[in-house]
Amino acid sequence: MIGEKKKQKVVFLDRDGVINRDSPNYIKSWSEFEFLPGSLEAIKKLTMNGFVVMVITNQSVIHRKMISLKALEHIHEMMKKTVLSRGGDIRDIFFCPHIPEDQCDCRKPNTGLILKAQEKHRIDLKSSIMVGDSAKDIECARNAGCGTVILVKTGNGALAEKQLKEKMIRPDAIVQDLLEAAHWIISRNPPATSPGPSQSHE
């Protein structure tokens, strides 16, 4: 029911540096994809506590011609399958394929990806949560109107802290990793229901 969907709280996750280990050479294949410690458990905990998890990620690796769209889709399908096998669920993935010079509206810190997710899933952004490891993630969430933003220290977290201080942007919490973020989120948002992982992905 539409009324129930509006009550669902969505947790947006950045990908590289939050779910998996980031790389200066980009993630170009599933063999290069490495889940960060605790990230699978974190997504499971969020799912089992009634949160809808979506991924919001910049993937300029596409326009840099370092990977095909089909290869990226394979990485994401394998990521979702692995998460599902561990008891979690990623409902949807939104990515920007552009480089900064393209000046698109979907590359974080611009808000295009979150707004696309909002339109597709009828999300109440005021009750949504964003977890990221970069200043771009936090800025994007603030600009889009997400109610809660969390910075994790994995990935680019240390640099992000400095950049955010310079811009006078404050996340609601700064935590070590995604698992700590999940605990923080769950402790402040008691679940009304625990639907568990779904068996289908959009």
Query: In this structure, what CATH number is given to the domain that contains residue 172?
Result: 3.40.50.1000
49-58 pLDDT tens trace: 999 999 999 9
Structure tokens at 48: 């089992």
Rounded to an integer, what distance in angstroms lies between the CA atom of residue 41 and that of residue 115?
27
What is the number of structural domains in the chain?
A: 1
Q: What percent of the chain has pLDDT over 90?
A: 87
**Looking at the domain assignment, is residue 36 inside a domain?**
yes
Roughly what angle, to the nearest 10 degrees, separates helices 135-144 and 157-166? 50
Judged against a pLDDT cut of 60, whether residue 3 lies above it is answered with: no
**Looking at the domain assignment, is residue 198 inside a domain?**
no
Q: What is the predicted pLDDT for the residue at 156?
A: 85
Range of the domain at 126: 2-188
Rounded to an integer, what distance in angstroms lies between the CA atom of residue 51 and that of residue 58?
23
Mean pLDDT across 7-34? 95
Structure tokens at 7: 């009550």
Rounded to an integer, what distance in angstroms lies between the CA atom of residue 99 and that of residue 164?
22
Q: Note the pTM of the prediction, 2 decimals.
A: 0.90
**Looking at the domain assignment, is residue 150 inside a domain?**
yes
**Looking at the domain assignment, is residue 35 inside a domain?**
yes
Tell me the catalytic residues: 14, 16
Structure tokens at 118: 């909002």
**Looking at the domain assignment, is residue 193 inside a domain?**
no
